Amino acid sequence: MDSPTLAACALLGRTDEQRAYQAALRGFCDRDIAPHAAAVDRGERSLWESYRALGRAGLLAPAYPEALGGGGGDLTMVAIFMAELSRACAATALSCGASTLLGGMTVLRFGTDAQRARWLPVIARGDAVACLGLTEPGAGSDVMSVATRATRDGDGWVLRGAKTFITNAAVADLHIIVAVTGESAGRRTHGMFLVEKGTPGLTVGAPMRKLGMRGSPTSEVFLEDCRVPAAAVLGDPTQGFAQVIFPLNHERAMAPAMALGILEGCLERCIRYAKERVQFGKPIAAFQAVQFKLARLRADMVLLTALLKDVIAGIEAGRDMRVEIAAGKAFAGEAAVQGALEAIQVFGGYGYIEEFEVERALRDAKLLELGAGTTEIQLRIIARTLLGDLVG
Is CATH 2.40.110.10 the right assignment for the domain spanning 132-237? yes
183 annotated active-site: no
Question: In this predicted structure, what is the pLDDT of residue 184?
Answer: 85
The residues with which 166 forms a beta bridge, in sequence order, are 219
Q: Phi first, then psi: give them for residue 218, nearest 5 degrees.
A: -125, 125
Whether the per-residue pLDDT at 239 is higher than 80: the answer is yes
Question: In this predicted structure, what is the pLDDT of residue 186?
Answer: 82
d(CA 225, CA 246): 28
**Where are the strands (E) in the chain, listed by range?**
130-133, 149-153, 156-167, 174-184, 187-196, 202-204, 218-229, 233-234, 278-279, 282-283
Identity (one letter) of the amino acid at 188? R
Query: Which residue in 340, 256, 364 sits closest to 302, CA to CA?
Result: 256
Per-domain residue ranges of the chain: 9-129, 132-237, 245-390
Instruction: Decide: 69 and 124 in contact? Cβ < 8 Å.
Output: yes
Question: In this predicted structure, what is the pLDDT of residue 40?
Answer: 98
Instruction: Decide: 39 and 47 in contact? Cβ < 8 Å.
Output: no
- Give the pLDDT mean for 250-272: 97
Fold classification of 245-390 is: Butyryl-CoA Dehydrogenase, subunit A; domain 3 (1.20.140)
Question: In this predicted structure, what is the pLDDT of residue 341?
Answer: 98
- Give the pLDDT mean for 332-343: 98
Measured from the Cβ of residue 156, the count of other Cβ atoms closer than 10 Å reads 16
Whether the per-residue pLDDT at 344 is higher than 90: the answer is yes
Question: In this predicted structure, what is the pLDDT of residue 6?
Answer: 46
Question: In this predicted structure, what is the pLDDT of residue 10?
Answer: 56
Q: Are strands 130-133 and 174-184 parallel, antiparallel or unpaired?
A: parallel
Fold classification of 9-129 is: Butyryl-Coa Dehydrogenase, subunit A; domain 1 (1.10.540)
- For 65-113, the pLDDT digits (tens) are 999 999 999 999 999 999 999 999 999 999 999 999 999 999 999 999 9
Query: Which residue in 231, 153, 244, 241 sits closest to 195, CA to CA?
Result: 231
Q: Please, is 16 exposed, middle or buried when counting C-beta atoms within 10 Å of its C-beta (0-12, 13-18, 19+)?
A: exposed
pLDDT band at 1 (very low <50, low <70, confident <90, very high): very low
d(CA 85, CA 38): 14
Choose, from 136, 251, 357, 369, the residue flagged as catalytic.
Answer: 251
- For 4-36, the pLDDT digits (tens) are 444 555 567 789 999 999 999 999 999 999 999
Q: Please, is 11 exposed, middle or buried when counting C-beta atoms within 10 Å of its C-beta (0-12, 13-18, 19+)?
A: middle
- For 170-221, the pLDDT digits (tens) are 999 999 999 999 998 888 999 999 999 999 999 999 999 999 999 999 999 9
Instruction: Decide: 329 and 372 in contact? Cβ < 8 Å.
Output: yes
Query: Which residue in 14, 343, 368 sits closest to 211, CA to CA?
Result: 368
Q: Which residue has the higher pLDDT, 141 or 361?
A: 361
Residues 6+ apart with CB under 8 A from 208: 165, 218, 219, 220
Counts for the chain of helices (H) and strands (E), in that order: 13, 10
Question: In this predicted structure, what is the pLDDT of residue 3?
Answer: 45
When the pLDDT of each residue in the chain is averaged and rounded to a whole number, the result is 95
d(CA 121, CA 67): 9
